[in-house]
Chain A
Amino acid sequence: QQPVQSPQAVILREGEDAVINCSSSKALYSVHWYRQKHGEAPVFLMILLKGGEQKGHEKISASFNEKKQQSSLYLTASQLSYSGTYFCGTPPPGGADGLTFGKGTHLIIQP
């Protein structure tokens, strides 16, 4: 099943904070986060593994709560360069490969 992302879109002023959520109806082993700018390739941000580990990338961090089957991406003091669509992806169960992505969260940062 496709993970569900919320909100669908966010508009912020430069310097404001944002939280993007990703939840799944099935047990999660890991959550992968990517950012995509319009017409470009998705760019890897980070992978969260079971254990509630919180990781960071620049002023972007994320958490993973496997009991709640959800992950959250935190963008602190947002910059214009953070604009884009953020996707979470989850691996399939068993021995299959690839990622199942959510529909994405559109983030617009205004000066």
Chain B
Amino acid sequence: DGGITQSPKYLFRKEGQNVTLSCEQNLNHDAMYWYRQDPGQGLRLIYYSQIVNDFQKGDIAEGYSVSREKKESFPLTVTSAQKNPTAFYLCASKRAARDQPQHFGDGTRLSIL
């Protein structure tokens, strides 16, 4: 079955540590996205990529980095510069056309040790 796989499901970060969240899709979608969700809040866009080897900052990119070396993969690194990383992270993908639905992975819950 086609879909989006995020791993790990739960992740713990120590102070000063960088961690990388994985996102893989086999839907052959061109565009991929990372969102952050905090309790009682909507989803906020961190980064997006419309094509391989290109990505753009979203609304809250500070403290995060991404890469898009392959069409099916869009990993997110939460750096030590992100002072409040505890959140639910969701990866999504969609076809290239503007008004296509986004398909979401099951998310990664990141906590600070």
Whole-angstrom CA separation of A100 from B48 in the bound complex: 13
Q: Mark B95-109, 1 if CB is under 8 A from A, else 0.
A: 000110111111100
Whole-angstrom CA separation of A107 from B56 in the bound complex: 34
Interface residues on A, range: 20 to 34
Whole-angstrom CA separation of A49 from B97 in the bound complex: 14
Please indicate the chain B residues that have their CB under 8 angstroms from the CB of A2 in the complex: 42
Q: Determine how close the nearest CB of chain B comes to the CB of A98; give it in whole angstroms.
A: 4
**CB <8 Å contact, A96 and B56:** yes
A41: contacting residue among B50, B90, B101, CB under 8 A:
B90
CB interface residues, A 40-65, toward B, < 8 Å = 40-44, 47, 49
A71 within 8 A of partner (CB): no
- A contacts, CB < 8 Å to B: 2, 30, 32, 39-44, 47, 49, 87, 89, 91, 96-104
- B contacts, CB < 8 Å to A: 31, 33, 35, 40-45, 48, 50, 56, 58-59, 90, 98-99, 101-107
